[in-house]
C-alpha cells in the first residue's frame, strides 16, 4: 500500500492530491471501522490500526462533540473510549460510576490535573503552577466564591444591573445601523464585553475595573490562554512555546493583568497582616479581597501565587458565562413565542422579589435551564485525570494518565433522561404545583446527579448562583428595554473544538430600543 502511494506520488507529482486521497481513505475507514468485514482487515494490520487511531485522535479536535454524541448513541449506556491526540478519554454514564468518581481519593483522580492540561498554566500564566491534587493546599477560592460572593448577591444586584445596563447600551450605540434603524450586534463579542465588565465590577477594585487597559487585558486573557495552551498541547515541544508567544503577542494580556494585579494584591496582603485598627481604611469588599481572606492559613502563599489563583478563577468565571449568555440570547430570540410571558413575569412582583433576594423568576429560570440543557457548550463533565491506575468496582480500568469523563451533553439530549429530549420546551422545568419546595428543587442553580451542568458530588461549580443571576439580569435588561431579532444563521451556530461548542462570531442580533 505504501509503495503504491509512493508510485502515485511519483506519477502525479502532486503531494496535495495524494494527501487528499489518504485523508479520504482514512475517512472511509473511520466510517466503516465498526463493520465486521472491515474490522477483520484492519485488525490484521497493526500499522493500519495505529494510523486509523491517530486519524481519529486528530479528527477529534474539530469533531469531538459529534464523535462523543455518535458513540454515546451506540453505547447503550455502556462505557466507551474516545481517543484524543494526547490520551484516552473513558466515558461513563451510569450513576454508580459517577458516584465512584466523586468518592475516589484525590491522589487517584484529579480535577486539577485536567485543568492544568487545559490551561498549561506554567507556559501561559506567568509561570503559575498549582498542585495536581485538588485540595492539598485547601480550596480557599471555592469558599470565597461559594460563601462570600453568593452571600453578597442580593446587595450586589443594583451594581450588577447598572453595569449590565450600561454595557448593553454601549453595544447598541456602537452597533452598525441598518437602513430601517436596527443596530446589528455581533452577539458573542457583545456577551464577552458584558460579562467582562460585570465580573470586573465584582472581582476587582474600581481603580482596575474602570481602567480600560486592564479591562481589555481581562477580556483577552481567557482566549489568549486558551490559544496558547492549545498550541502547546498540539505542536511539538521544540516550537510550541515560541509559536504560543507569537500568537498571543508574547502573552501580552496575561502580563498586563498580572502587572496590574500584583501591586494591588501585595498591598492588600501587607494590610491583612496588620491588626484591624492599624489598617486605616475599611476592608475592601471585592473578589480579590475574598480570595486573600480565604487563602489556607497553614500555607504562606507568595503574592505571585495569589495573583495566579485570582487569574485562574477569572479564566473560569469569564468564558463559560460569556458562552452561556450568548446561547441563552440565541435561544430566546430563536423562540420569540416566549417573549410575551417572560416580559409579563418581569412586570410582576416576582421581579422585585428577585432583585431583593437574587432568587426567583421561575419562568425565566426554566427557560434558562432548558437553554443550558440543549445548548450546553461543553460535551463532557466530571472530568478527572487518573494520577495512578484507577479501577471501578466493576473492573473498568482508567489507566494512569488517561481521563475519565461523563458525556453529559449527549445524556441531556437522550429521551431516557428527558422526555422528548430534542424538543426545546422553555417551561419544561416549571413544576406543575409551584410550591416553594418544588420550585427550589427544579431551579437551574440546583446541583444533583441528574443535573450535571454544574459538576457532580463534592466538586460542583461554586459560581453557579452568581452565573444564574447574571444570566437573568442580561435577559431581563434585553427584554425590558429592547426589541431584538436574530439574523438568520447560515450553517451551524457553533464551531467545535475538542469537546466544546463555541458560538460562531458571525451570529448577529438586530436590536433597537423598545417603544412601549
Residue 163 vs 324, nearer CB to ligand HEM: 324
Looking at the DSSP bridge assignments, the partners of residue 496 are 501
Question: How do beta strands 403-406 and 455-456 pair?
Answer: unpaired
Give me 440's grid cell: 427550589
Burial degree of 480 (CB within 10 A; 0-12, 13-18, 19+): middle
Q: Tell me the closest approach of the beta carbon of residue 198 to ligand HEM, in angstroms.
A: 10
Residue 418 vs 454, nearer CB to ligand HEM: 454
Give me 46's grid cell: 497493526
Q: What's the Rg (C-alpha) of the chain?
A: 25
* b/e 255-282 (16+ beta carbons within 10 angstroms → b): ebbbebbeebbeebeebeeeeeeeeeee
Q: Tell me the closest approach of the beta carbon of residue 380 to ligand HEM, in angstroms.
A: 8
Residue 258 vs 451, nearer CB to ligand HEM: 451
- Which residues are at the interface with ligand HEM (CB under 6 A)? 111, 134, 139, 141-142, 145, 313, 316-317, 320-321, 324, 381-383, 453-455, 459, 461-463, 466-467
Listed in sequence order, the DSSP H helices in 175-239 are 187-203, 206-209, 212-234
Q: Tell me the closest approach of the beta carbon of residue 160 to ligand HEM, in angstroms.
A: 12
Residue 69 vs 137, nearer CB to ligand HEM: 137
Q: Tell me the closest approach of the beta carbon of residue 50 to ligand HEM, in angstroms.
A: 31
d(CA 306, CA 225): 18
Give me 180's grid cell: 430601517
Residue 104 vs 231, nearer CB to ligand HEM: 104
Residue 172 vs 404, nearer CB to ligand HEM: 404
Give me 303's grid cell: 503574592
d(CA 286, CA 310): 12
How large is the greatest C-alpha to C-alpha distance in the chain, in angstroms?
Answer: 86
Q: Tell me the closest approach of the beta carbon of residue 490 to ligand HEM, in angstroms.
A: 27
Whole-number Cα distances in Å, 390 to 98, 113, 132, 455, 483: 14, 15, 16, 20, 53
Residue 231 vs 372, nearer CB to ligand HEM: 372
Q: Tell me the closest approach of the beta carbon of residue 51 to ligand HEM, in angstroms.
A: 32
30 half-sphere exposure, CB direction, 13 A CA radius: 22
Q: Tell me the closest approach of the beta carbon of residue 40 to ligand HEM, in angstroms.
A: 39
Shortest CA distance to 307 belongs to which of 248, 256, 251?
256
Residue 182 vs 390, nearer CB to ligand HEM: 390
Residue 59 vs 493, nearer CB to ligand HEM: 493
Contact 424, 335 (CB under 8 A): yes
Residue 218 vs 240, nearer CB to ligand HEM: 218
Q: Tell me the closest approach of the beta carbon of residue 12 to ligand HEM, in angstroms.
A: 48
Give me 435's grid cell: 410550591
Listed in sequence order, the DSSP H helices in 414-504 are 436-442, 464-481
Q: Tell me the closest approach of the beta carbon of residue 358 to ligand HEM, in angstroms.
A: 14
Q: Which residue is nearest to ligand HEM (CB)?
A: 463
Whole-number Cα distances in Å, 47 to 39, 51, 52, 53: 14, 6, 8, 10
Q: Tell me the closest approach of the beta carbon of residue 282 to ligand HEM, in angstroms.
A: 23
Looking at the DSSP bridge assignments, the partners of residue 199 are none
> For residue 296, how many other CB atoms are within 10 A of its CB?
14
Amino acid at each position: 500500500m505504501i509503495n503504491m502511494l509512493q508510485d502515485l506520488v511519483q506519477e502525479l507529482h502532486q503531494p496535495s492530491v495524494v494527501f487528499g486521497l489518504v485523508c479520504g481513505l482514512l475517512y472511509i475507514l473511520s466510517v466503516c471501522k465498526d463493520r465486521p468485514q472491515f474490522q477483520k482487515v484492519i485488525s490484521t494490520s497493526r500499522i493500519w490500526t495505529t494510523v486509523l487511531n491517530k486519524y481519529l485522535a486528530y479528527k477529534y479536535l474539530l469533531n469531538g462533540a459529534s464523535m462523543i454524541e455518535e458513540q454515546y448513541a451506540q453505547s447503550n449506556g455502556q462505557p466507551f473510549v474516545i481517543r484524543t491526540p494526547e490520551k484516552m478519554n473513558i466515558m461513563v454514564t451510569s450513576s454508580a460510576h459517577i458516584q465512584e468518581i466523586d468518592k475516589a481519593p484525590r491522589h487517584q483522580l484529579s480535577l486539577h490535573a485536567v485543568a492544568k492540561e487545559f490551561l498549561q498554566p506554567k507556559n501561559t500564566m506567568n509561570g503559575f503552577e498549582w498542585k495536581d491534587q485538588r485540595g492539598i493546599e485547601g480550596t480557599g477560592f471555592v469558599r470565597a466564591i461559594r460563601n462570600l460572593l453568593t452571600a453578597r448577591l442580593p446587595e450586589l444586584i443594583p451594581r450588577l444591573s447598572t453595569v449590565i445596563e450600561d454595557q448593553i447600551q454601549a453595544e447598541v450605540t456602537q452597533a452598525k445601523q441598518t437602513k430601517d434603524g436596527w443596530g446589528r450586534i455581533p452577539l458573542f463579542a457583545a456577551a464577552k464585553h458584558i460579562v467582562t465588565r460585570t465580573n470586573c465590577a465584582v472581582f476587582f477594585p474600581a481603580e482596575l475595573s474602570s481602567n480600560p487597559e486592564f479591562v481589555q487585558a481581562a477580556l483577552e486573557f481567557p482566549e489568549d490562554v486558551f490559544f496558547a495552551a492549545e498550541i502547546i498541547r498540539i505542536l511539538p515541544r521544540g516550537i510550541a512555546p515560541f509559536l504560543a508567544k507569537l500568537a498571543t503577542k508574547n502573552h501580552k494580556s496575561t502580563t498586563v493583568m498580572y502587572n496590574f494585579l500584583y501591586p494591588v494584591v501585595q498591598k492588600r496582603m501587607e494590610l491583612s497582616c496588620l491588626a484591624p485598627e492599624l489598617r486605616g481604611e475599611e476592608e475592601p469588599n471585592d473578589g480579590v479581597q475574598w480570595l486573600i481572606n480565604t487563602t489556607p492559613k497553614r500555607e504562606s502563599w507568595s503574592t505571585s501565587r495569589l495573583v495566579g489563583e485570582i487569574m485562574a478563577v477569572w479564566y473560569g468565571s469569564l468564558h463559560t458565562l460569556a458562552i452561556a449568555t450568548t446561547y441563552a440570547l440565541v435561544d430566546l430570540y430563536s423562540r420569540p413565542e416566549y417573549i410575551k410571558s417572560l416580559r409579563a413575569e418581569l412586570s410582576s412582583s416576582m421581579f422585585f422579589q428577585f432583585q431583593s433576594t437574587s432568587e426567583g423568576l421561575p419562568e425565566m429560570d426554566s427557560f434558562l435551564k432548558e437553554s443550558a440543557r440543549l445548548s450546553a457548550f461543553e460535551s463532557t463533565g466530571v472530568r478527572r485525570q487518573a494520577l495512578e491506575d484507577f479501577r471501578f468496582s466493576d473492573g473498568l480500568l482508567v489507566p494512569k494518565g488517561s481521563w475519565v469523563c461523563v458525556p453529559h451533553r449527549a445524556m441531556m439530549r437522550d429521551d431516557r433522561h428527558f422526555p422528548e429530549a430534542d424538543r426545546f420546551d422553555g417551561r419544561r422545568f416549571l413544576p406543575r404545583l409551584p410550591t416553594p419546595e418544588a420550585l427550589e428543587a427544579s431551579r437551574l442553580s440546583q446541583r444533583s446527579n441528574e443535573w450535571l451542568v454544574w459538576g457532580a458530588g463534592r466538586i460542583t461549580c461554586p459560581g453557579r448562583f452568581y452565573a444564574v443571576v447574571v444570566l437573568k439580569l442580561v435577559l431581563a435588561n434585553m427584554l425590558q428595554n429592547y426589541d431584538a431579532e436574530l439574523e438568520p444563521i447560515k450553517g451551524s451556530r457553533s464551531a467545535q473544538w475538542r469537546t466544546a461548542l463555541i458560538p460562531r462570531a458571525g451570529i448577529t442580533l438586530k436590536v433597537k430600543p423598545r417603544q412601549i
